[in-house]
Amino acid sequence: MAGVIEERADEPGFLSRLGHGLARWSLVIGLFVLWDALARGGAFTPFMLPSPQSVALRIWADATGGELFINIGLTLYRSMTGFFIAAVLGVSIGLFMSRSAGARWFFDPVISVGFPMPKITFLPVIVLWLGFYDTAKISMIVFDTVFPVITGTLVGMQSVEKELVWSARNMGAKERELLWQIMLPAASPQIMTGLQVALPISVIVAIVAEMLMGGYGLGGAMMTASRFANSVGVFAGIVEIAVIGYVMVKTMSIIRRRLLIWHQEASEPTTA
């Protein structure tokens, strides 16, 4: 009897969460409904706009055959390897620039010019130097993702309150202690923001590089399907990339909340 009463007491909370979840996903659900309606309505041929059901069957066939996981694994390997290399390089360069006026003078013009320009224009040069293999694709990812990490680290270090630094120095903190125990923790929200910006860029660049340079991977599979006029395969690739991108962004958001649980932003309301 007590269990029934507790279940009824929890029912409004469950229904409220369910309604909130459906409301958040209403636009995505609406897009799929519209997609299905247009595919069934006859305004588009199955070649131009395959139905969601046929796309889902193609994804299932790729998954059961193992091809889907091979392509996902290769794309994630390239994107995450490039992301981690860019994270280490970007944070190191950003810290160096924040601590050295000479480094700031040397790197600042390169960052100012390189950040806004489309780095994909250097792809032919990278192909000439490194060929069409994983080294070239990962290098392209590093080159594209390192700039937001550098910028986030530099902005974070510059935003550390001067009073905090002065207080630590007055209490006898050495430079290494000041960096690792005071400045880096205070700058970590901005550093994490730079990493959150860099992560989806790494996936985007990996897929574009696979499309342009060939080989296995989600981008390569989409281009192969396009060459054989397989529109179902192309749309299946779009859905797969969207799902993977969403999972990676959400995972990074969870990691941020875990790492910054001590920070004031963790106590602020969030819609994530």
* Domain residue spans of the chain: 2-38, 52-267
Residue-wise pLDDT tens digits, 68-116: 999 999 999 999 999 999 999 999 999 888 888 888 888 888 888 888 8
DSSP 8-state secondary structure symbol assigned to residue 45: -
- The answer to whether 137 and 206 have CB atoms below 8 angstroms apart is yes
Does this model's pTM top 0.85? My answer is: no
- The answer to whether 230 and 119 have CB atoms below 8 angstroms apart is no
Residue-wise pLDDT tens digits, 109-143: 888 888 888 888 888 889 889 888 889 999 999 99
φ, ψ (nearest 5 deg) of residue 262 = -80, -15
Q: Does domain 52-267 have CATH number 3.40.50.620?
A: no
- Backbone region of residue 261 per phi and psi (left: phi > 0; alpha: psi in -120 to 50; beta: other values): alpha
**Residue 159 neighbours by CB under 8 Å, 6+ apart:** 186, 187, 190
Residue-wise pLDDT tens digits, 38-63: 888 877 888 888 989 999 999 999 99
The larger pLDDT score, comparing residue 201 to residue 18, is at 201
- Backbone region of residue 154 per phi and psi (left: phi > 0; alpha: psi in -120 to 50; beta: other values): alpha
Nearest CA-CA partner of 74 in 238, 244, 235: 244
3-state secondary structure at position 170? helix
